[in-house]
Amino acid sequence: MQDYIRATEELWQIRDSLNARNDEYLNAKKIIDEIIFLLGEGKIVVCEKNKDQWYVNEWVKKAILLNFKVSEMKLYDGNCMKWYDKVDPQFLNFSQDSFEKKGCRIVPGAFIRQGAYIGKNAVVMPSFINIGAHVGSSTMVDSWATIGSCAYIGNNCHISSGSGIGGVLEPLQAKPVIIEDNCFVGAGSQIVEGIIVEEGAVISTGVFIGASTKIVDRNNGDIIYGRIPAYSVVVPGVLPSSKKDLPGVYCAVIVKQVDKKTREKTSLNELLRD
């Protein structure tokens, strides 16, 4: 891994001089192709957790950006459709045997770019998963969901229809959205700008959360930003205006906290009923 890190940092310094007519380009293409492959295998990740803190491996983001630099546009023919891109589909050369070994289910209309990781027993409905994204084992990505570049989704999650999970490539130090294990994101919800949804949280339908969104705990009135605490149940809400006749401001509301045991035994409909 240290060899890849060192090579990526060196290539990053000469990225503006890389072109298909010099030796550095051929060496760069080989190294970056290997990194993107390992990213798709889950052996390299953009984000990882260490001692309860999430960190961004900036060198991996650099490798993804370099991939666009050393790759050329080409035509892809998907039988019933064509597209023109620099990034291969993740499963372009997969056989039935390859899919059986991979152990995930990919439904027609699921667009997954190379360098995205799909875990064992995951199910991907018609949706879009961008390069560098991580989708954990036994997670469901439902119809028309979008998972942005470098976004992290843990194990045993459900990303419901029409929801959006934001990613980010630049700036390099910026975190993408991180959804920890055993979370539920309701239909049409949009989680963007580096929000961290901690383990076991339940996001209701139509909740919009960005870096500046006020997240209000209805039990005590506390307001936080950028993070949904573990095992929180969150619905959309409105903070009243302090001035008469002016509209209130949208917020996300933590309506309750549930422990792990309750989360595992209680249906989502019951959790969201208040």
Residue 177 in contact with residue 195, Cβ under 8 Å? yes
Q: Are strands 196-197 and 178-179 parallel, antiparallel or unpaired?
A: parallel
User: Quick check: 21 pLDDT over 70?
Assistant: no
Q: What share of the chain is helix, strand, coil (3-state, %, to 5)?
A: 25, 30, 50
**Is pLDDT above 80 for 80?**
no
User: 64: exposed, middle or buried (C-beta count within 10 Å: 0-12, 13-18, 19+)?
Assistant: buried
Full-model pTM: 0.93
Instruction: pLDDT band for 133, please (50, 70, 90 cuts).
Output: very high
- pLDDT-based confidence at 168, cuts 50/70/90? very high
Structure tokens given for 71: 């790759």
Three-state DSSP at 134 gives strand
> 18-56: string of b/e by CB count within 10 Å (b at 16+)?
beeeeeebeebbebbeebbebbbebebbbbeeeeeeeeb
Give the three-state DSSP class for 5: helix
Least confident interval from 51-60, 61-70, 125-134, 262-271: 262-271
Closest Cα partner for 3 from 29, 24, 34?
A: 34
Q: What is the pLDDT of residues 36-64, one digit of tens each?
A: 999 999 999 999 999 889 999 999 999 99
Q: What is the pLDDT of residue 34?
A: 96
